[in-house]
Structure 1
């Protein structure tokens, strides 16, 4: 039986992003997907600024931008009349350190197409039609069994197989959470005539139910999202969706001309009790399930992959101690818990979309990997996101791009180095992790070698 370095279960944004990160590190990884193709719907359509930075590093931002566009203003309707237009997001000015501040809208199926193409470009691949039924692990690796009777062996397995994760259940890992909203919701990709595409159209009933039609950039489709009365049966057929449009809007039922994809759900927030069991790690919706409000789920999931990719690469290729993988759960579970609270707050109208939701302020100051040796640290701290900037004519995001560490303000063998850090960083020497966070900071380079040895760079 061939043994891969990593088997990733699930070809959603999480699994594909992780596959890309591992492929560029020379890690042999296979993505196994139960479906016969990529996910066909628009569900996770918001790409937050921090995720845009991740996509920049992974080499897909230009393609993602070309596939999407800005969020339109929301237009509220009542009895066939326009009531008011509202901007969905608080405006955040861009600056040198934060070049991306506006969320992008990209249908999830397009995001996944872009990620899949990048994975193939790097030599990675997805095995479709591979449904996992169980697994067993030992000291050397994990054996994963599939519905077709075959099995594969890997040194590590990453479960990126969604909120109903088969792998998580096979491990016996529970999820703790709550119902965010008791009412049934549904979402669908439809063609609609007679509605302009410059606004996200909102039709709210007095009883709290309602329907929204959002134009999906780069397509002729709208995403239909509806909240129906508690106890009402959802009908995901074309006729069922036509009935909702007829009930809530000024459009006629026959103005819904095509249905491409539909799903129903009850908004829930839940967090896996563990993100790691031995050689199996949980990521994305397999580890945390969000309300779709605020666009945190897909973005938190991609950043799980971004955090885990460099750590698996360090252990498998750079000789880092396996204990480094323990910091994945330490860092990402706390982060996911905070994002779950945020998503629930947005859903309930307690948090405004803006600075809180773009994820630029997230970091790992409390992580055991964050070491700040300065006597009087000010400004940027170990664990913080490393901002963009320019040093000696070099843009930092260009310098950071790739699977390496970057040292600002000193030099070290085997580490890409720049002679200084921008003034915005404050005084000191800064070591930037491969995922764009400051790992170590010091007044001088004293103590740097010990840190590098810890993470497999010595």
Structure 2
């Protein structure tokens, strides 16, 4: 006999996207279930680059310091010539942190470590992953989704207000919805393996035969572990030998060296590189996030980051909808995120083409700091600004000083599941704080002192202007502080009601 239960959100898939969404819902007090078909956590490091924008998200989620401590920066790339000599180069363009952009270089954290840190954070918030639970089917109507899944305790039927498919490139949720997944196979068959290896120093990303797609092999130490990762293209129709002996034969054949020895294999996989994008991210009460919505080559380290940011965008909107926000708020998820994935697919494919020629170099575009939603229906400006920071842009950080004298940063004010209103040199409490909205006054005699003028440089607010920062760190609205009626309408649409309205 099947069990029957209810929840607000059912998340199918406990990779980086599903875990991010779960953390977002957990810290907002939303009821959810997070199920994962695999019986234990994913053991590999397919996605290992944490880009600067994702580092900002990890700070908000309360896991950045743990991720940095568990991983490290990317090493230099060591490109070997045929005579055995080599050239060391930087993997990415060097960039210094700025007041507005505190994180500037990609971190290397193996995927299994990132997901472990996320599960620990989820546990702190009182929730856990339900491993060994496979979604069998679902139907939806105007009130929610009826889902059937099988787990350790038998088959269960669950009624959820919303279902989110975070179940990877072969997504069962996407296929059940009948959503097309157009794109192309990129003609590259490759292997990736996490191994214990001797013969190479861990201080470099070792690149042999760069640009030769028949002989190329890259071997890199995985920061924070005693493992190396091997990456290599293999012939399209070849059967990959992922054993230690098979990998040793491949390395010896491609490098001409007998001193590089794989001692054991922790995890290995072979795959065809694809670039595909789901035609829709939402069907009724069902949403797609992460690889269920987009797959792409690993070049540029964009995939896991884009997946995390999908979930970060959707999480606060689901919570707001459950609290009474206007229904069209949920439509903005696809409007904002699908073009980002489309651009990312193009970038990853271009970087793959560059890698085939040898000498791929990653510039500012991979850091994801310039991603924004300027055309979003959620972006509001009164009056419209002609330049500088615009509604829909990423909200910059800035060092500040509190009125009591202690230094802080804007990102510390933003941290948490709330909206933030910065009111610049305006008199009085023009709009009240409430559940889900923090209000901070900025000025020489205010609680937030722009002691080093970094807010002025980043936000260019005139006296009497205010900027409303979304829970996901993007600018929602820029208005004059006396436009309280317009601001109240905007907040009501987002489900951020005044206290007297909450009590009705």
Return the TM-score normalized by structure 2: 0.87
Shift, 1:56, TM fit: 0.3
Instruction: State the partner residue of 2:198.
Output: 193
Query: Alpha-carbon deviations, 1:375-430, whole Å to 9, x = none?
Result: 54431000000000134434110000000000011652212112138102012310
Unaligned runs of 5+ in 1: none
Counterparts of 1:205 and 1:125 in 2: how far apart (Å)? 43
Query: Alpha-carbon deviations, 1:321-343, whole Å to 9, x = none?
Result: 22211111111111111111111
Shift, 1:139, TM fit: 1.6
Among candidates 421, 425, 435, match of residue 407 of structure 1: 421
Among candidates 216, 220, 225, match of residue 219 of structure 1: 225
Shift, 1:198, TM fit: 0.7
Is residue 472 of structure 2 the alignment partner of residue 435 of structure 1?
Answer: yes
Among candidates 339, 350, 374, match of residue 334 of structure 1: 339
Q: How does 1:160-309 map to 2 (within 5 A)?
A: 160-180=166-186, 182-204=187-209, 207-209=212-214, 210-252=216-258, 255-309=261-315
Shift, 1:250, TM fit: 4.2
Counterparts of 2:410 and 2:167 in 1: how far apart (Å)? 34
Secondary structure of the residue aligned to 2:266 is strand
Counterparts of 2:205 and 2:51 in 1: how far apart (Å)? 18
Instruction: State the partner residue of 1:444.
Output: 481
Secondary structure of the residue aligned to 1:149 is strand
Query: Alpha-carbon deviations, 1:293-335, whole Å to 9, x = none?
Result: 001110000000100010011111x321222111111111111
Among candidates 424, 440, 450, match of residue 418 of structure 1: 440
Question: After the TM superposition, which segments of 4 or more aligned residues of structure 1 sit over 6 Å from their partners?
Answer: none
Shift, 1:135, TM fit: 0.9
Counterparts of 1:334 and 1:205 in 2: how far apart (Å)? 32
Instruction: State the partner residue of 1:95.
Output: 98
Secondary structure of the residue aligned to 1:232 is coil
Q: How does 1:19-38 map to 2 (within 5 A)?
A: 19-38=22-41
Counterparts of 2:75 and 2:339 in 1: how far apart (Å)? 32
Q: Quick check: 2:5–2:157 contact (8 Å CA) kept in 1?
A: no
Is residue 496 of structure 2 the alignment partner of residue 457 of structure 1?
Answer: yes
Query: Alpha-carbon deviations, 1:174-219, whole Å to 9, x = none?
Result: 1111223x13101010111111011000111774221110100111
Q: How does 1:317-396 map to 2 (within 5 A)?
A: 318-349=323-354, 352-393=361-402, 394-396=408-410
Is residue 123 of structure 2 the alignment partner of residue 117 of structure 1?
Answer: no
Secondary structure of the residue aligned to 1:168 is helix
Shift, 1:60, TM fit: 0.5
Counterparts of 2:161 and 2:94 in 1: how far apart (Å)? 45
Q: Quick check: 1:429–1:445 contact (8 Å CA) kept in 2?
A: no
Counterparts of 1:206 and 1:387 in 2: how far apart (Å)? 38
Q: Quick check: 2:53–2:369 contact (8 Å CA) kept in 1?
A: yes
Query: Alpha-carbon deviations, 1:416-445, whole Å to 9, x = none?
Result: 112138102012310000000000011334
Secondary structure of the residue aligned to 2:354 is coil
* Worse-matched range after superposition: 63-72 or 389-398: 389-398
Change (3 A) 1:256 1:29: same
Counterparts of 2:411 and 2:477 in 1: how far apart (Å)? 18
Counterparts of 2:104 and 2:278 in 1: how far apart (Å)? 30
Counterparts of 2:385 and 2:80 in 1: how far apart (Å)? 55
Aligned residue pairs total 456
RMSD across aligned C-alpha pairs, in angstroms? 1.7
Shift, 1:141, TM fit: 1.3
Shift, 1:79, TM fit: 4.1
Counterparts of 1:107 and 1:456 in 2: how far apart (Å)? 37
Shift, 1:454, TM fit: 1.1
Counterparts of 1:120 and 1:44 in 2: how far apart (Å)? 22
Shift, 1:254, TM fit: 7.5
Change (3 A) 1:106 1:291: same
Return the TM-score normalized by structure 1: 0.96
* Worse-matched range after superposition: 318-327 or 328-337: 318-327
Shift, 1:41, TM fit: 0.2
Counterparts of 2:49 and 2:416 in 1: how far apart (Å)? 24
Counterparts of 1:80 and 1:137 in 2: how far apart (Å)? 63
Change (3 A) 1:206 1:118: closer
Among candidates 133, 154, 159, match of residue 160 of structure 2: 154
Q: Quick check: 1:183–1:231 contact (8 Å CA) kept in 2?
A: no
Shift, 1:152, TM fit: 2.2
**Largest Rg, 1 or 2:** 2
